[in-house]
Amino acid sequence: MNYEDLITLGIAFGLGMLVGLQRQTSDKEMAGVRTFTLIAVLGVVSGFLTREFDNPFILPVLGLCLTALLIVANIIKLKKFTEADVGQTTEVAALLMFAIGAYLVLGSQIIGAVVGGTMAILLYVKEHLHDFIEKLKEKDLAAIMTFAGISLVILPILPDKTFGPFDVLNPRNIWMMVTLIVGISVIGYFIYKFVGKNVGIISNGILGGLISSTATTVSYARKTTNSKNISKLAAFVITAASTIALARVLVEVGVIIPEKLPQIILPILLEFIIMTILCVGLFYLINKEKNDDKMPEPENPAQFKSALIFGLLYGLILLAVAFTKEEFGNNALYIVAIISGLTDVDAITLSLSQLMKGGGLETATGWRLILLASLSNLLFKGIMAAILGTRQLLKWISLSFGISIATGLLIIWLWPEGWHF
């Protein structure tokens, strides 16, 4: 007895019943649990017959027979009901279930089970998916389509080889970093759009860090000039966004050089914890102050112009890091990190991560440069808050950012070399 075939039949039964259960609750007149289970078993038996007799025609013939049955069922449905709702979802699901049953035998059981389970979930969330699509605005569609163009159209066609001086400019690598950053921002944007508006100021800070901590700083600093009583609230949101931006740096490092993350995570994590404690303190101070202010809705985070600018900036920083390292040594990279961090932490983080990945920069120096760039960016945001906001905001930001920067500099200076996972 072939127990593997029995397992295959069991998987087909399970998937057929799962999809059939969902279809029966939404389309009782076409196909339900029994029908989908039988279709899945038919697919498995078709695979068995094809394998047993080594005949490639058995599977497509039975597939065509199933298609004909579905067509006849729809014709009967049209004649029986005056206002029959004839769609294509159930029919396509039935054909896909037949194909999954056959693939469980002739292909990968894991892929077949994943596809079947995903189909059941997709069918179940139909209404929620329709509601989501109906809520989309023009700029939301623009964000989705722009990100699709960045990741699915432009990225695959770029050459995967290095050009230019110092042999560090790889078009596909650069655009992959653009895709990573835009992807993180788009996820944060849609979380904010459909969740963040109604879940309080904590989410405003978290989502602000996912989308853009600098934009959040500018937005809330400007709000304090119109509502001076929200200075502590604005300071909390700005500090929280900057704290999440530091976590975002760790995510970027983990994506590029996961093998080196154990040597990098502890000092940056300590800075993150210090900033989190500061956020908790600020939140405690504003907890009793009722305020309905929300984070201003962000602009489209997947604008092609912004993506192109980031790609150019990332490329320039790659060249600057390579030039500085070759001409002046690693110590001069601290100046590059400070200057680059003023404008964009993501670009310098990814550049240094690539350098560490290739072995051109020691990990101990690399994480110090990344943390220094983050502190430089904190200083820049503090200056922006001082220029655009009120004196009260400046007082609270000076306190939170001052402690964060001082702590970060001490970590860079005093951290023992042997302290890592």
pLDDT score at 245? 92
| DSSP-assigned letters across all residues of 80-101 | H-TT----SHHHHHHHHHHHHH
Helices (H) and strands (E) in the chain, counts: 18, 0
pLDDT score at 221? 87
pLDDT score at 29? 54
Select, from the ranges 154-168, 245-259, 284-298, 334-348, the one with the highest average predicted confidence (pLDDT). 245-259
> For residue 316, is pLDDT > 90?
no
Give the pair of three-digit tokens for residue 418.
């042997």
The percentage of residues in the chain with a pLDDT greater than 70, rounded to a whole number, is 89
Amino acid at 371: L
**pLDDT tens digits, one per residue of 341-367:** 887 888 899 989 988 988 888 999 999
Mean pLDDT lowest for which of 185-194, 290-299, 308-317?
A: 290-299
**pLDDT tens digits, one per residue of 1-43:** 567 888 888 889 888 888 888 777 765 555 678 888 899 999 9
Q: Give 384 or 193, the one with higher predicted confidence.
A: 384
**pLDDT tens digits, one per residue of 107-123:** 888 888 888 888 888 88
Q: Which residues of 259-287 are buried (b: 16+ CB within 10 A; e: fewer)?
A: ebbebbbebbebbbebbbebbeebbeebe
**pLDDT tens digits, one per residue of 138-176:** 778 888 888 888 888 898 899 988 887 877 788 998 898
pLDDT score at 87? 58
> What is the average per-residue pLDDT within 393-421?
92
The pTM for the full model equals: 0.69
pLDDT, the chain, mean: 84
Report how far residue 242's alpha carbon sits from residue 264's, in angstroms, rounded to the nearest whole number.
19
Report how far residue 383's alpha carbon sits from residue 5's, in angstroms, rounded to the nearest whole number.
68
Mean pLDDT lowest for which of 144-148, 246-250, 334-338?
A: 144-148
What ranges do the domains of the chain cover?
A: 3-132, 137-414
Query: Scanning the structure block, which residue is given the tokens 């000076």?
Result: 398
Task: Name the band, by pLDDT with cuts 50, 70 and 90, for residue 83.
Answer: low
> For residue 368, is pLDDT > 80?
yes
- ∠ Cα 400 401 407 (to 5°): 95
Which secondary structure element, helix H or strand E, spans residue 168, and what is its range? none
pLDDT score at 274? 96
pLDDT score at 257? 93
